Amino acid sequence: MQYCEICKTLAPDHCFHEDHSLRAPRDNDPVLLLTTDPLHADMLEPLLKDADIPYVRQGRLGVGMTLRAGNMLEEYSFYVPYSAYEQASELSMVVAPNCSD
Ligand SMILES: [Zn+2]
């Protein structure tokens, strides 16, 4: 797998965005694990903690928007280091078997 620095995703040969160039991933590269709703995000978070996988959880809308629109519209993206990606993606499949890609 190759790594896109701009999208923070792994791809076999080319990025979804054709003008992005790929390089070999390094162990500490942040990789997008999944984007999911608050319910699944709250289920996944303790699993990552239990497995000692460092992660970043990033909301798409931000706190102000969440307060106005209600929490269920929020989506969270999880980023994990490339070195832990394989283990983390197995955990994410346990939480959300039908909505991981
Ligand atoms: Zn890209």
The structural domains of the chain, ordered by start, are 2-95 (3.30.70)
CA of 92 to the centre of ligand 1 (A): 22
- Work out the average pLDDT over 16-42: 94
Between CA 56 and CA 43 the distance in angstroms is 15
CA of 70 to the centre of ligand 1 (A): 31
Give the tokens for residue 92. 């994410």
Count helices and strands (H / E) in the chain. 3, 6
Region of poorest pLDDT, from 12-21, 26-35, 50-59, 71-80: 71-80
Between CA 44 and CA 26 the distance in angstroms is 24
CA of 61 to the centre of ligand 1 (A): 21
pTM above the 0.85 mark?
no
Contact (Cβ atoms closer than 8 angstroms) between residue 29 and residue 3: yes
The per-residue pLDDT for range 45-83, each reduced to its tens digit, is 999 999 999 999 998 766 666 666 666 678 899 999 999
